[in-house]
Chains A and B, each alone.
Chain A
C-alpha cells in the first residue's frame, strides 16, 4: 500500500524548496536525504543530544523530533547557511581557532545553539553560555573549549558590529 505523500513548501537556507514527503518523515531525514544537507547530524534520535539542531523560524529546534510536514511554510537554517570556508561566520571562526571540537559530530548542533544564544543575548556571561549550551552533548572535549569558543564568538561579533 502506497503511503500518501504530503506537499511541502519551506525556505531552507534562503532557498524555497517544494517537495512531497511521507507524513512521518523527520525533518532531519528530509534535510539529509532529500536535500543532501548532511551537515545536520543525527545523534540520539530522540531529542536529547542536540546534534540535529537547526534554526526553525529563528529558534533552535531538534530536527530529529520534528516532522518534515510540520515545517510547511517555515524558514529553516542549517549549519550550511552560516558561512563558507572562504567566508566563515564568527562562530565558525571561533570554534576553529579555540579548538571547540574534536570529532566534530556535535559541532553543527553546537553552532546552531550558540547562534540562537548570541542572537538574543550578544554579550552572554559564562554562566549564561553554560546554561544555554547544556542541551547539547559532546563526548570528546569536556566542553571547556566550546564555552571559550562561544565567548570568543561573542567578542568577534561585537567587533564586527562596531567595525
Chain B
C-alpha cells in the first residue's frame, strides 16, 4: 500500500531539473506590468505631503496609485479590517506601503518607488513592549487570563519560590522564495490570481473586496511556495490585491514580487515576547503554583495576533501538569511590522517560558533539570489512574511524554553524557559544555474551531487515471505527496496513477489556510471521503454485474477483484463510465470533538497532542560567547507515519529552524523603528555548518489514539520546539561558569552568552 512508505517529494524531479514553477516563473503575456510599493520612512505620524511627480516621470512608469485611487476596499487584513493596502494618511510603521508604482519592469518599478518625496508630521513611535505598556497601547480591552486552581495561595505556601523575567526575540521567516503574485484579467471583469500563499481562499476574499466583486469573480491558484512557515498565511494579501487593482485599471496582467529587503521590511515576523514568571515549588522541583505574564509585541495591526497570543497561553504548560496556574497575556500594539503567523504560532514562546522556569527551578535546587522536568510531566496514558487537566481544562488523554523521554534518554546515553559534560567542565576553564533534554507537547487543531474543516475533489477518468485536488497548499512539506499516497491507497493504485493538481479556489471552495500543522489531517481525510464515495459507486456497479455484494469488490495492486474475476482498474473505470456511474466526487471533513471558549479559556481546543523530545549538547567559548551545537538526538511522535521520510525531513528542518530562532537569528530595530537586519547578510539563519555535528532523529512508535488519517499525527510545527533544547543546553553551559543563574534571554547570541557568563561568574 502507498501509505507509510518513505517516498520522495512528488515534485522532486521537477525541482532537481529547475522545471518546478514558482509564481515568478509562470510565463505571463509580453504586455505584463510590474509593481512595487513606495514605503514609509518613519514609524509613526501623518503624511503631510506626497509629491510623486518624479515617480510618475521615471523611465518605464505607467501609473502610480495612492489610497485615493483604489476603487473599492482599501484593506488587506485577515482579521480586523485595520490594514490598509496603501496608507490612508496615517503612518503606523517604518516600511508601510504608501503608494503603488506600475511599470514596464520589476527594476523600473523599484527604481521609481524610491523617488517619492514624502513630508511627514512625525510622532514618537511606540517600538517596545515597555513603551506600549506605558501608553496602554494594546489589542483587546485588557489582558486575557486563563487560570486553574488557587495560584497565589499555592505560590505563597510553597517551600521554595522564584521570580524571573525573560525576553524572547522574534524571527524572520526567510522563506527562500519571497512574496509574489500574478494577476491575469479575464472577460467579464473576472481575475485569475497566482499567489505564493498558504491561504488561497483568503486571497480570493481580499481580492474580491478590492475589486468590488463577489468571490465567484476571483479564481486563485497556488501550485507551490518556496517555503511558507506561516509567513504566507496573510502576508501575501497585499501583493495579490495590488496586482488585482492594477490589472483591473490597466486591463493588463500584473505581477509583483518583493525584493528581499522590501520583504523583510514590509512583512510581519514571529511575535517577540517578554515573559514574567513567579513560581512556588517543593523540594523535588514539583511546581505547586505558577504565574506567567506574557507580553506580546503584536506590531501595528491585529493580523493573527489574538490567536497567536492565545496559543502561547495554551502552551505555557508544555508537557507539565500545573495544578495551580495563572496565565496572563497582554497583546501590545506597537509601531513595528505587524507580527504574524510563524511555525508554532505562539506555542514556541509559551513553551520557552515554562522550560525557562524548569531550568531556573533546577538551578535553585541544585538538581538536574531533567529530574525536575520529569517530576512535573503529565502522567502517561498507559500508567495513569485518571487523566490530568491542562490549565485551560482539556484533559490530556493521550500522554506519552514519560515513556518517550525515557526512551530518548536511553538511546542517546543521556546519563553518561551528562556526567561527561560535568567532567569536561571541571577540567576545562575556557570551553564549557552544556547538555539539555526538553520535551514537546503541542496541541493540534486550529483554536478558531470553524477552521477545522477541509474539502477535496477527486475525478477518476475513463482510462483509470485519477486527478486529485484539495484545499491544502504545498510549501515543501510534502502535503501533496502524503495526500496522493492516501488517494492511491483508497483505490489500490500505484502512486503514478494519481495526479495532484494545483490548489485552486475554483475546484475546492472555502478552504482554511494550510496552517496549524493541520494540512494532512484535514485534507487527507477529505480526500479519503471523496475517494471512498467513488469507490463505493464503482463497487456497487461492478458487484451488480457479477451478482456479488459491493463489499466483496476488492481494490488493490492496480486491479479490481470480484468473485473469481480480476479487472484492471482502468477497465473497471471504463465499465463504470459506460454504465453511467459518476466517477467524480467531492469529499469533506470536519474535526470532531472540539469545543473551545477562548474568552473564558475553557474547553477542548485540540483534537490531540503531538509529542517529542530532544537532547542537545553544546560548547561555548567563555571568552567570546561563541558556541557550537555538537550533537542533537531527537525522538518524535508522528503517530503512524504517512511517510517517514517526509516526517523526518520536517523534524530535522523544524529543529534547525527552532534552534536558529533561539541562537543566531536576531532582529534589530534602531531607535527610529527601522529594521536594521533586513537581509541574510545581517540576519543570520542557520547554514549547514551551523547544524549539529551529530544529528540523530528517530520516530516514536505510537499510533494516534484519535481517529486521524491512517492514525497519523501532524508534524509541521511541533518539531520546531525541539530547538528549545539548544537554548537550555547553552544555559547549562553558562551555568558551569559560576554560582549565579544564567537567565539567558533569546536569541542567545554570542553577546548575550558572554554577558550571561559574566553575570554567572559574578554570582548574581
Which residues of A are in contact with B by a Cβ distance under 8 Å?
Answer: 1, 3, 24-25, 29, 32, 36-46, 48-49, 51, 78-80, 82-85, 88, 91-93, 95-97, 99, 101-108, 111, 130-131, 133-147
Let me know if A103 and B476 touch, CB within 8 A. yes
Q: For chains A and B in complex, what number of residue pairs have CB atoms within 8 angstroms?
A: 179
B376 at the interface (CB under 8 A from A): no
Q: Is the interface of A mostly helix, strand, loop or mixed?
A: loop
A87 to chain B, nearest CB (A): 10
Of the residues B176, B261, B478, contact of A49 by C-beta under 8 Å = B176
Given contacts A82-B17, A92-B16, A95-B16, contact A142 B226 (CB under 8 A): no
Given contacts A48-B681, A139-B685, contact A145 B652 (CB under 8 A): yes
Of the residues A99, A103, A133, contact of B177 by C-beta under 8 Å = A103
Given contacts A99-B649, A103-B225, A139-B227, contact A44 B9 (CB under 8 A): no
Q: How far is the CA of A106 from the CA of B229 in the complex (A)?
A: 15
Let me know if A45 and B17 touch, CB within 8 A. no
Residue of A nearest to B7 (CB): A99
Let me know if A51 and B176 touch, CB within 8 A. yes
Q: How far is the CA of A49 from the CA of B684 in the complex (A)?
A: 11
Let me know if A38 and B25 touch, CB within 8 A. yes
Let me know if B19 and A85 touch, CB within 8 A. yes
Let me know if B18 and A105 touch, CB within 8 A. no
Q: Which residues of B contact A44 (CB under 8 A)?
A: 260, 679-681
Let me know if A46 and B691 touch, CB within 8 A. no
Given contacts A95-B16, A102-B478, A142-B653, contact A46 B688 (CB under 8 A): no
B463 to chain A, nearest CB (A): 22
Of the residues A32, A43, A101, contact of B16 by C-beta under 8 Å = A101
Of the residues A103, A144, A145, contact of B176 by C-beta under 8 Å = A103
Apart from A140-B227, A146-B688, what are 5 other A-B pairs with CB-CB below 8 Å? A25-B107, A44-B680, A48-B680, A95-B15, A138-B688
Q: Which residues of A contact B646 (CB under 8 A)?
A: 99
Q: A-B pairs with the 8 shortest C-beta distances?
A: A39-B18, A103-B476, A105-B226, A104-B15, A102-B476, A142-B652, A142-B656, A38-B25
Q: Which residues of B contact A135 (CB under 8 A)?
A: 687
Q: Which residues of B contact A41 (CB under 8 A)?
A: 22, 176-177, 226
Q: How far is the CA of A59 from the CA of B12 in the complex (A)?
A: 25
Let me know if B689 and A130 touch, CB within 8 A. yes
Q: Which residues of A contact B697 (CB under 8 A)?
A: 144
| Chain B window 209-248, contacts with chain A (Cβ cutoff 8 Å), 1 for yes, 0 for no | 0000000000000001111110000000000000000000
Let me know if A38 and B13 touch, CB within 8 A. no
A107 to chain B, nearest CB (A): 5
The count of chain B contact residues (Cβ–Cβ below 8 Å) is 58
Q: How far is the CA of A32 from the CA of B257 in the complex (A)?
A: 14
A70 to chain B, nearest CB (A): 17
Which residues of B are in contact with A by a Cβ distance under 8 Å?
Answer: 8-9, 11-22, 24-25, 27, 59, 107, 173-178, 224-229, 259-261, 475-478, 645-646, 649, 652-657, 679-681, 685-689, 691, 695, 697
Q: How far is the CA of A58 from the CA of B115 in the complex (A)?
A: 40
Q: How far is the CA of A101 from the CA of B173 in the complex (A)?
A: 18
Q: Which residues of B contact A80 (CB under 8 A)?
A: 17-19
Let me know if A101 and B15 touch, CB within 8 A. yes
Of the residues A43, A78, A138, A142, contact of B18 by C-beta under 8 Å = A78
Let me know if A40 and B176 touch, CB within 8 A. no
Q: Which residues of B contact A97 (CB under 8 A)?
A: 8
Residue of B nearest to A40 (CB): B18
Q: Which residues of A contact B685 (CB under 8 A)?
A: 137, 139
Residue of A nearest to B21 (CB): A38
